[in-house]
Amino acid sequence: MTTNLTGRPAEIAIDFGTANLRMIHRDGGVIFDEPSLCCLTGLHDQPRFIAAGAPVSAMTDRTPAGMRVRRPLRRGVLQDIGAATHLLRYAASHVIKRRAFRSPRVMIGLPADVTQAERNAMLTAARDAGLNPVCFVPEPLAAAIGANLEIDAPQGTMIVECGAGTTEVALLSLGGVCLTRSLRGGGAELDAAIIEFLHARHKLLVGRSSAERIKYAIGEACTRGGAADAIEVKGRSLVSGLPAAIRIAPTEFADVIERHAQHIVDLILEVLAETPPELSKDIHGQGIVLTGGGAATPALREKIEAGTGLGVTIAEESGLCVARGLLKILHNGSAAS
Ligand SMILES: Nc1ncnc2c1ncn2[C@@H]1O[C@H](COP(=O)(O)OP(=O)(O)OP(=O)(O)O)[C@@H](O)[C@H]1O
Ligand SMILES: [Mg+2]
């Protein structure tokens, strides 16, 4: 279930996502929950730390020459160990108040199909940040525990963890992962598709944060049944080169959202086609549970229900499921052998 590195129990857990970093303390719960961003300045071989986490959100796409906002993870994979180390150190300074004699032992959530190279990169970043990795936990397992699902029984559970950089479909039973498939893409790719659509159709250039806000606005409009209410979109006109604002009906984004959802439906269908019959029977009764921040993506639930014929539930506070699951594991140690 977990990769045990030292056998000693962990006191801190980390959910290091493409969009958000959550750091959890066994006694304090989810203490740090901020964007996975780090701002550095200076030369490549000697960068100087400026800021990390929440304050960097407003700096994104607004930095002067020589200063850069870095995202340590891309499509769920750690790409920038230096930036990751700075961010982990910053988060740890919020979570570990007392100066400990020994470096704190940590448990890290990782995608179930993580490669050895990806695991090693995370180990290096954590150690460089003064954290001592104890074990790794497959994220879908943590997500299921955080969603309060009964996973220890001989009973199949299907979970779809919809992150910003990865979408993971996992079939769980008897406290372990039976089958998993992932897509190296998630909410961030939908934002990129929105940017592309506005560029191609409306000749308007928008940044990533604006695209994410548009995505939320589409979701809110659909939820309150106001799909015809126009959304204001601001950016730079590619025609005039000037700042511009246009109003677009949420329904205009239907194809973009549909294509995104279809990738996830295809991934689920792939796992269902390989599911052993007894587990398949369980899933037919129980349906599918969506976790991760992207679980609330407009029309995703309806699209999965239509594509699979199964019931779909969105976990409460879906973005926090992995972190809550890690906290439970810190407490009872069940998944951290
Ligand atoms: N209400 C919402 N509607 C649509 N998307 C949402 C909503 N809330 C959050 N998201 C999206 O969820 C993603 C963040 O989710 P989460 O925090 O689970 O990702 P992550 O753990 O950082 O990424 P990953 O695990 O893939 O590396 C972002 O792409 C964000 O835009
Ligand atoms: Mg995640």
Written as tens digits, the pLDDT of the chain (337 aa) is: 455 555 678 999 999 999 999 999 999 999 999 999 999 998 667 889 999 999 999 999 899 999 999 999 999 999 999 999 999 999 999 998 766 667 889 999 999 999 999 999 999 999 999 998 889 999 999 999 999 999 999 999 999 999 999 999 999 999 999 999 999 999 999 999 999 999 999 999 999 999 999 999 999 888 877 666 899 999 999 999 999 999 999 999 999 999 999 999 999 999 999 999 999 999 999 999 999 999 999 899 999 999 999 999 999 999 999 999 999 999 987 554 3
Distance in angstroms (rounded) separating the CA atoms of residues 145 and 114: 20
Nearest-CA residue for ligand 1 atom 9 is 293
User: Structure pTM?
Assistant: 0.94
Atom of ligand 1 nearest to the CA of 188: 29
Task: Please give the Cα distance from 120 to 286 (Å, whole number).
Answer: 36
Q: How far is CA 195 from CA 127, 153, 213, in A?
A: 37, 44, 11
User: Looking at ligand 1, which residue's alpha carbon is closest to its atom 1?
Assistant: 296
Instruction: Please classify residue 43 by burial: count the beta carbons closer than 10 Å to its beta carbon, then call 0-12 exposed, 13-18 middle and 19+ buried.
Output: exposed
Residue 19 CA: which ligand 1 atom is closest?
Answer: 22
DSSP annotation of 100:
-
Ligand nearest to the CA of 190: 1
What DSSP state is assigned to residue 250? G
Q: What domains appear along the chain, each with residue ranges and CATH number? A: 3-139 (3.30.420.40), 143-185+256-320 (3.30.420.40), 187-254 (3.90.640.10)
Q: For residue 89, give the H/E element and its range.
A: helix 81-95
Q: How far is the CA of 162 from the centre of ligand 1 (A)?
A: 7
* Residue that has been written with the tokens 């940040």 in this structure: 129
Name all residues whose Cβ lies below 6 A of ligand 1.
Answer: 17-20, 73, 76, 163-166, 186-188, 212, 215-216, 219, 292-294, 296-297, 319
Closest CA relative to residue 215, chosen from 231, 229, 237, 235: 231
What three-state secondary structure class fits 105? strand
